[in-house]
Amino acid sequence: MSTQNPVFIPGPTNIPEVLRRAVDMPTIDHRSPLFGKILHPALAGVKKVLKATQAQVFVFPSTGTGGWETAITNVLSPGDKVLATRNGMFSHRWIDMCQRHGLDVTVVKQDWGDGVPAHRFEEVLTADREHQIEAVLATHNETATGVRSDIAAVRQALDTAKHPALLFVDGVSSIGSMDFRMDEWGVDVAVAGSQKGFMLPPGLAIVGFSPRAVAAAETATLPRTFFDIRDMAKSYASGGFPYTPPVGLLNGLRLATEMLLEEGLENVFSRHHRIAEGVRKAVAAWGLQLCAVRPELYSDTVSAIRVPPGFDANKVVAQALNPYGVAFGTGLGDVAGKVFRIGHLGSLTDVMALSGIAAAEMAMVDLGIPVKLGSGVAAAQEHYRLSVGAVQKKAA
Ligand SMILES: *Cc1c(COP(=O)(O)O)cnc(C)c1O
């Protein structure tokens, strides 16, 4: 692949030059006051991005997967009951992690391409009269299928069932790109990573804990050392870290949150929506279908696109990579070979998106998939020129 082209994998995302520079730092003494000047603004910035006022934010040298482990090991105990659904590769992996930690997971069946079934959750929670379920897991944006679930509806399910279980949300591919409301949705643990909406290299697990989740860490008995939020909290209070911190990445996080807040979160979300809509217009112009089964599920950060029967989606990804030097996401798990994914999150412009749509078109035409060169690009161009405000301004 060419490093001159933007990537269209749904993470890691493109890194803005200013963030690359912020990450590239000389060694500092992480026990000096200088470190606190990087750490604390980074934590405060994340809290704003999460739309959280009560939560405590913790950052570990890890990835989103480490964030999942932080959530479960700090709040739960062996044998605890957990409610989840499996609607894609990422929700599947989080369930698998819970099982490997000796948790008792009730898995509500769901089709890949559909969202978290809040109504089914409500039934299960209502039936659990003794309140044995300790936690409900929800993947806000299932990156494997390009499906965004309604977390407010999951919160509503808990409230309607009058169930006290804690709500854990995987927001790895949504936080910082799509609206996320930790306070309003009553999220107890929110999980993110550095390499998606935060536009940084991989290497950080970023988690927000509600006061209830923080309190649960005092009695939870799953083994934890590296990911213990109590050690983190104690060290943060003195401006430090319980072990050697990834200073450059934290400095990047400080600046990334500043950039997101300066653009304005609502503007960041509408930019993602506009870019995603352009991709969806292209998909429609190609005559292809998304994996997401209903418009309200369409993700603004990743589109999983079904190739026509008889074609192999992995070949589209391979053909885009060579000769064109452009990276798309392959299909994972149940949808391997059936879909390819265009990631459109993080640092991206309309014009960058057009280049990805053009490359996907070339790769598909090369393979004999019946799409017309330029059709998707034209549909997206039309959407971008109308939605960016250029046309209205001229008329005024
Ligand atoms: C990327 C991703 C993860 C896993 O993140 P890693 O950083 O690869 O550990 C988890 N959940 C979702 C929804 C993701 O998109």
| Average pLDDT per consecutive 10 residues, the chain (396 residues; last block may be shorter) | 93 98 97 96 98 98 98 98 98 98 98 98 98 98 98 98 98 98 98 98 98 98 98 96 98 98 98 98 98 98 98 98 97 96 97 98 98 98 90 55
**Residue 222 β-bridge partners:** none
Q: Are 230 and 341 contained in the same domain?
A: no
Helix axes 350-366, 313-321, angle to 10 degrees: 110
Q: Is the CB of 90 under 6 A from ligand 1?
A: yes
Cβ neighbours of residue 39 closer than 8 Å, sequence gap 6 or more: 236, 239, 241, 245, 250
The pLDDT value recorded for residue 393 is 56
Nearest ligand 1 atom to alpha carbon 171: 13
The pLDDT value recorded for residue 391 is 66
The pLDDT value recorded for residue 187 is 98
In the chain, how many domains are there?
Answer: 2
CATH number at residue 288: 3.90.1150.10
- What does the DSSP 8-state code read for residue 296? G
* Residue 3 falls inside a structural domain: no
- How far is ligand 1, taken at its centre, from the CA of residue 181, in Å? 19
Q: Are 76 and 190 contained in the same domain?
A: yes
Nearest ligand 1 atom to alpha carbon 173: 15
- How far is ligand 1, taken at its centre, from the CA of residue 368, in Å? 33
Q: 173: closest CA among 136, 199, 203? A: 199
Residue from 172, 195, 332, 341 to probe ligand 1 pocket by mutation (most atoms less than 8 Å from CB): 172
Q: Is the CB of 328 under 6 A from ligand 1?
A: no
Q: Are 236 and 356 contained in the same domain?
A: no
Q: How far is it, in rounded angstroms, from Cα 337 to Cα 180?
A: 31
- How far is ligand 1, taken at its centre, from the CA of residue 232, in Å? 22
The pLDDT value recorded for residue 396 is 46
Look-up of token digits 């044995």:
132
| End residue of a domain, out of 262, 295, 329 | 262
What is the extent of the structural domain holding 271? Answer: 265-395
Q: 212: closest CA among 158, 152, 176? A: 158
Q: Is the CB of 172 under 6 A from ligand 1?
A: yes
